[in-house]
């Protein structure tokens, strides 16, 4: 079993505009990824783009696995054109994972936009603990995986920036209202979150206000994904840490936002 492996594309389906669901079949045995782990994927065997791209594991299907991604540049654009039967070179699973649940905590999952990618995989492993889920997107079309969450017995609280579904506004404000409505003493909540930078910053402030513990999965440009290039660092209360190695999941109160 090697973390450097090839996988063939089973399906690469556009789910909404610019968003794709990629199903891969590893051609070698690979380690079972845990929610929060990521893979470095070579979108093509070429010099431009040169580097592999990091993608978090979306769903583990036993042997095959899925990546949910958005076309954001040249690399993901090439990836979106890969067809069933194509072979991709991949390294992984890499990085750390969302930590296991402490029994006396109630989990609140928070996803913003494509941050749902690792959160759904997490939901699949912890749904027996009946976590809450707060999920926001720009518009209702960009709310992915709602049916999957419901089929796991998780009814997400939803918001959209344009008000096209759920509450109008951002999901952190919705969560704040919910937390404020809880009678003291508040349950021991623990946040598990992934989403864009501004959402995570707001969530960090919220965690401070309500004295909540939590973990956030970060995204960062990477060259190697293995911990050697030191290119993907994030500033923390304990100095610069590598998102690929000490992360991508960090305690929410550890990250220093600049």
Partner 1 sequence: MNLTTNLGKLKLKNPVMTASGTFGYGKEYSEFIDLNNLGAIVVKGISLKPMKGNPDPRICETPCGMLNAIGLQNAGLKEFIKQQLPYLRNFNTKIIVNILGTSINEYIELAENLEAAGVDAIELNVSCPNVKKGGIVFGTDIKIFEELIRDVRRRTRLPLITKLSPNTADIKLFAKAAEDAGSDIISLINTITGMSINIKTRRSRLANITGGLSGPAIRPVAVRMVWECFKTVKVPIIGMGGIISAEDAIEFILAGASAVAVGTANFVNPIATLDILEGIKSFMSGNNIKSLKELTGTVKC
List of residues contacting partner 1 (CB under 8 A): 2-4, 42, 47-52, 89, 91, 220-224, 226-235, 239-240, 258
The distance of closest approach from Cβ of residue 228 to partner 1 in the complex, given in angstroms and rounded to an integer, is: 4
Cα–Cα dist 180/186, whole Å: 9
Q: Which is nearer to partner 1, 125 or 220 (CB)?
A: 220
Q: Which is nearer to partner 1, 227 or 251 (CB)?
A: 227
Q: Which is nearer to partner 1, 201 or 230 (CB)?
A: 230
User: How many angstroms from the chain centroid is the CA of residue 104?
Assistant: 24
The residues that bridge with 117 in the sheet, in sequence order, are: none
Strands (E), the chain: 4-16, 19-26, 38-41, 53-56, 59-60, 65-70, 87-94, 106-112, 132-137, 157-160, 167-168, 189-194, 213-217, 233-236, 239-242, 249-251
Cα–Cα dist 43/56, whole Å: 15
Following CA atoms 59, 109, 226, 67 in sequence, which dihedral angle do they give, to the nearest 10 degrees?
30
Cβ-count burial 130-152 (b if 16+ within 10 Å, e if not): ebbbbbbbeeeebbbbbeebeeb
The distance of closest approach from Cβ of residue 30 to partner 1 in the complex, given in angstroms and rounded to an integer, is: 13
Cβ contact 79:69 at 8 Å: yes
Q: Which is nearer to partner 1, 42 or 96 (CB)?
A: 42
Interstrand relation of 106-112 and 189-194 (parallel, antiparallel or unpaired): parallel
Q: Which is nearer to partner 1, 180 or 228 (CB)?
A: 228
The distance of closest approach from Cβ of residue 51 to partner 1 in the complex, given in angstroms and rounded to an integer, is: 5
Q: Which is nearer to partner 1, 101 or 229 (CB)?
A: 229
The distance of closest approach from Cβ of residue 64 to partner 1 in the complex, given in angstroms and rounded to an integer, is: 23
The residues that bridge with 135 in the sheet, in sequence order, are: 111, 158
Interstrand relation of 249-251 and 4-16 (parallel, antiparallel or unpaired): unpaired
Q: Which is nearer to partner 1, 166 or 248 (CB)?
A: 248
Phi/psi of residue 205, nearest 5 degrees: -60, -40
The distance of closest approach from Cβ of residue 240 to partner 1 in the complex, given in angstroms and rounded to an integer, is: 6
The distance of closest approach from Cβ of residue 42 to partner 1 in the complex, given in angstroms and rounded to an integer, is: 8
The distance of closest approach from Cβ of residue 132 to partner 1 in the complex, given in angstroms and rounded to an integer, is: 32
């Amino acid at each position: 079993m090697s973390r450097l492996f090839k996988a063939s594309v089973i399906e690469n389906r556009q789910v909404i505009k610019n968003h794709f669901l990629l199903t891969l079949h590893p051609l070698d045995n690979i380690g079972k990824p845990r929610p929060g782990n990521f893979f470095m994927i070579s979108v093509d065997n070429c010099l431009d783009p040169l580097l592999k791209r990091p993608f978090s594991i979306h769903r583990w299907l036993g042997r095959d696995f899925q990546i949910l991604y958005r076309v954001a540049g040249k690399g993901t654009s090439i990836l979106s054109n890969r067809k069933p039967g194509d072979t991709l070179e991949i390294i992984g699973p890499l990085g750390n994972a969302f930590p296991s649940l402490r029994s006396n905590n109630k989990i609140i999952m928070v996803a913003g936009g494509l941050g749902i990618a690792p959160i759904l995989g997490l939901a699949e492993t912890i749904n027996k603990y009946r976590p809450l889920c707060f999920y926001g997107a720009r518009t209702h079309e960009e709310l992915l995986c709602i049916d999957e969450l419901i089929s796991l017995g998780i009814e997400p609280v939803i918001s959209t920036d344009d008000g096209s579904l759920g509450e109008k506004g951002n999901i952190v404000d919705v969560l704040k209202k919910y937390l404020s409505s809880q009678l003291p003493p508040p349950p021991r909540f623990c946040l598990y979150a992934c989403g864009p930078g501004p959402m995570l910053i707001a969530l960090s402030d919220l965690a401070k206000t309500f004295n909540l513990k939590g973990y956030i999965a970060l995204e960062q440009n990477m060259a190697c994904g293995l911990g050697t290039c030191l290119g993907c660092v994030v500033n923390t209360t304990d100095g610069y840490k590598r998102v690929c190695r000490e992360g991508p999941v960090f305690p929410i109160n550890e990250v220093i936002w600049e």
